Amino acid sequence: MSQSIKINFTINGKRTELTIPPYMLLIDLIREELGLKGTKPGCLEGECGACTVLVNGEAVNSCLYLAINVDGKEVITVEGLPVTPEGEIDPVQEALIQHGAVQCGFCTPGMVMSIKSFVAQCNKDNIIPSPDEIKKAIEGNLCRCTGYVKIVEAVESLF
């Protein structure tokens, strides 16, 4: 009943062309078409943030995003964060680890992406966020294990 649509986009720095059904969700493009399982399906209703990815640097819920709308855009998933040859990972991830902010870890990739986008914005605006601003920045990422305290501390340590 529906025609497929060709899209061109960048995924984790790699230019990609794909033909996909028009109704495909971004999370399915990422997890099923591209096999990138780091983006987590928590609720598929935009309520939990586990599937958060960056589109043009901004955090969005990939479960409520039509895949064809990444045409011409840059998508970054947790797999797209740089790892050095020495195995050093992104400072956001490292901060979460060092502060004990990762328990079951299912919310973590999405949390990382929300924090990435927030930190970039703060750096751009040259502001050091307050704990309340940090909490607000991750309000769309539910975590059932940590009670958020260590996550907020980890983000504070990045400034």
Q: Does 18 bind other proteins (CB under 8 A)?
A: no
**Spatial separation of the C-alpha atoms in residues 136 and 142, rounded to whole Å:** 12
- Tokens read off for 105: 């870890």
Q: Which of 76, 106, 119, 129 binds other proteins (CB under 8 A)?
A: 106
Instruction: Give yes or no for residue 96 binding other proteins (CB under 8 A).
Output: yes
Beta bridge partners of 96: none
Q: Is 156 in the site for other proteins (CB under 8 A)?
A: no
One residue of 6, 8, 104, 159 binding other proteins per CB under 8 A? 104
Under 8 Å between Cβ of 102 and 91: no
Site membership for other proteins, residue 65 (CB under 8 A): yes
Single out the residue of 74, 51, 25 nearest to residue 142, CA to CA: 51
Select 4 or 128, whichever has its Cβ closest to other proteins.
4
